[in-house]
């Protein structure tokens, strides 16, 4: 017996926004997943947008606005 599965539009929109945020972030997955659980929670994803960029010693450094600590560093 087949069951019809209907996905609600708001839920689908949330999933799409989550995926766009995850893959559109400048930070790598390992940095966004701050508790190292292997799953990026919605709060962790929102925190990933609370970052700034500064340039130090020829490197591009992403830092957390809340405490100024380095989140991720890219040197060329």
Range of the domain at 67: 9-75
Mean pLDDT confidence for 9-20: 89
Q: What is the pLDDT of residues 28-70, one digit of tens each?
A: 888 888 888 999 998 989 888 888 999 988 899 999 999 999 9
Contact yes or no for 51/63 (Cβ under 8 A): yes
Residue 4 located in a structural domain? no
18: Cβ contacts below 8 Å, ≥ 6 apart: 42, 45
Residue 1 located in a structural domain? no
Residue 2 located in a structural domain? no
Residue 29 located in a structural domain? yes
pTM score of the predicted model: 0.68
Residue 25 located in a structural domain? yes
Sign of the torsion formed by the C-alpha atoms of 47, 74, 26 and 45: negative
Residue 59 located in a structural domain? yes
Residue 71 located in a structural domain? yes
Strands of the sheet with 70-75, listed across from one edge: 51-56, 59-64, 70-75
- What pLDDT shows up at residue 59? 92
Number of domains in the chain: 1
């Amino acid at each position: 017996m087949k069951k019809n599965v209907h996905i609600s539009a708001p839920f689908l929109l949330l999933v799409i926004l989550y995926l766009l945020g995850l893959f559109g972030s400048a930070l790598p997955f390992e940095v966004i997943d701050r508790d190292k659980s292997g799953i990026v929670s919605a709060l962790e994803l929102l925190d990933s947008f609370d970052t700034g960029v500064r340039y130090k010693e020829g490197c591009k450094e992403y830092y957390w606005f809340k405490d100024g600590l380095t989140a991720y560093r890219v040197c060329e």
